[in-house]
A = this chain, B = another copy of it.
């Protein structure tokens, strides 16, 4: 089976279109790497990039990417809502096909070494690649941001995994790691009452007693004029989408608020859709095997049963494999 990893690097520029274009142009020199997403955000002053491809070619492309960002971004003159400690702040490797989380840890380490050796940028390994408990959660590493890292990195507890205990003067430092895929999933509620979305989020998320693999909170979509329950599903096998969707519906019932839609941010694996559509096939006695469905069919049923909006087969990882 062909090896495919997903990576989701970001960089600290979300306003200057020319700069963003010059940075993204690096991937045209790596045509074997697919650019699935490029989402600049002006408030955050940050751009999130989603990439798919062969692990070795991915490492080469990311090295060029980090080099280009280093040339274009100076954090000494950067401001924005998003906390950041590096011009490229984080690079997660995610196993998609023919590869494992263990191998992704190795890819992360290999890239980390090269970033330090070839570009003189200190590297912290995080998530599954972390070398210490305190470095698993990215916010722990990032605390203090670019500005605070200048002194933090001299603390023996916060020496980087690769490189010397001194930040790069314009780039800062970067966290590189490996993690399992997650599904970013939001459910639309026909109300502008954010408190209500917060109550529902509380009912379903792990941190307040709900489902084990759900992170959730309220979000207000000012332009769309309604609120959402915004979520990460960390394990779609143990906490399938349909169960979260139906539990949110059940909670919304008491507020007499309609669940009007749902969206996937980024990508999700085909199997996550199959598992949930299969539930509704069972409920409605539809005698179709989900594994026989085309990606287009899966999209149709996801819209029908799960109320997905702005959804097409390009949201399904298998469209790129």
Residues of A at the B interface (CB closer than 8 Å) are: 203, 206, 208-213, 235, 238-239, 243, 246-247, 250-251, 253-256, 279, 282-283, 285
Number of copies: 2
Q: In the complex the two chains form, is A209's CB within 8 Å of B212's CB? A: yes
Instruction: For A205, give the chain B residue with the smallest CB separation.
Output: B212
Nearest Cβ on chain B to A101's Cβ, whole angstroms: 18
Nearest Cβ on chain B to A295's Cβ, whole angstroms: 24
A243 with B213, Cβ < 8 A, contacts A208-B238, A254-B282 known: no
From B209, B210, B250, B285, give the contact of A246 (CB < 8 A): B250
* 9 tightest A-B CB contacts, nearest first: A209-B238, A254-B282, A209-B212, A253-B283, A246-B250, A254-B283, A254-B279, A209-B239, A209-B213
A282 to B256, CA, bound (A): 8
**Which residues of chain B have C-beta atoms less than 8 A from A253's C-beta?**
282-283
**Which residues of chain B have C-beta atoms less than 8 A from A254's C-beta?**
279, 282-283
**Which residues of chain B have C-beta atoms less than 8 A from A211's C-beta?**
209-211
Instruction: For A234, give the chain B residue with the smallest CB separation.
Output: B209
A35 to B203, CA, bound (A): 36
Instruction: For A250, give the chain B residue with the smallest CB separation.
Output: B246
**Which residues of chain B have C-beta atoms less than 8 A from A238's C-beta?**
208-209
A246 to B210, CA, bound (A): 14
Instruction: For A240, give the chain B residue with the smallest CB separation.
Output: B203
Q: Which of A206, A213, A243 has the most CB of B within 10 A?
A: A243
Q: In the complex the two chains form, is B203's CB within 8 Å of A243's CB? A: yes
A239 to B204, CA, bound (A): 10
Instruction: For A208, give the chain B residue with the smallest CB separation.
Output: B238
A251 to B283, CA, bound (A): 9
